[in-house]
Amino acid sequence: MRIMKRPNILLTGTPGVGKTTLGKELAQRTGLTFVNVGDLAQESQLFEGFDEEYQCPILDEDRVVDELEDKMGDGGVIIDYHGCDFFPERWFDIVFVLRTDNTNLYNRLESRGYIGKKLQDNVQCEIFQTIYEEAMEAYKEEVVHQLPSNTPEDLERNLEQIVQWIEQWMKDNN
Ligand code: DAT
The pTM of the full predicted model, rounded to 2 decimals, is 0.97
Binding site membership of 64 for ligand 1 (Cβ less than 6 Å): no
List helix spans (H) across 98-129. Answer: 102-111, 116-127
Check pocket membership of 15 for ligand 1, CB cut-off 6 A: yes
For ligand 1, the distance from its centroid to the CA atom of residue 111, given in whole angstroms, is 11
Cα distance between residue 87 and residue 133, in whole Å: 15
The string of pLDDT tens digits covering residues 102-151 is: 999 999 999 999 999 999 999 999 999 999 999 999 999 999 999 999 99
- pLDDT of 2 > 90? The answer is no
Instruction: Give CA torsion, residues 153, 157, 162, 168, to 10 deg.
Output: 160
**Nearest Cα residue to atom 6 of ligand 1:** 18
Q: What is the ipTM of this complex?
A: 0.99
Residue ID of nearest Cα to ligand 1 atom 23: 151
Residue 77 Cα, ligand 1 centroid: separation in angstroms? 20
